[in-house]
Amino acid sequence: MTQVYACVPVKAFTGAKQRLSVFLTPAQREVLAATMLEDVLAALAGATRLAGILVNTVDSRAAALAVRYGARVVTEGALDGHTGAVMGMARVLAAEGAGALLTMPGDIPRVTSAEVDAVVSSCLDAPSFTIVPAHDELGSNAVLCNPAFAVPLRFGDDSYFPHLAAARRSGIEPTVVRLPGIGLDIDHPVDLRAFLRAPRKPTRTLALLDAFGL
Q: Where residue 214 falls among pLDDT bands split at 50, 70, 90?
A: confident
- The answer to whether 137 and 160 are in contact (CB under 8 A) is yes
Measure the CA–CA gap between 96 and 185, rounded to whole angstroms. Answer: 31
Which CATH topology does 4-212 take? Spore Coat Polysaccharide Biosynthesis Protein SpsA; Chain A (3.90.550)
- The H or E element containing residue 190 is helix 189-197
Does 175 score more than 90 pLDDT? Answer: yes
Percentage of the chain lying above the pLDDT 90 cut: 95
- Segment 96-155, tens digit of pLDDT: 988 899 999 999 999 999 999 999 999 999 999 999 999 999 999 999 999 999 999 999
Does 182 score more than 90 pLDDT? Answer: yes
Q: What is the pLDDT of residue 1?
A: 73
Which of 60, 80, 77, 52 is closest to 13 using CA atoms? 60
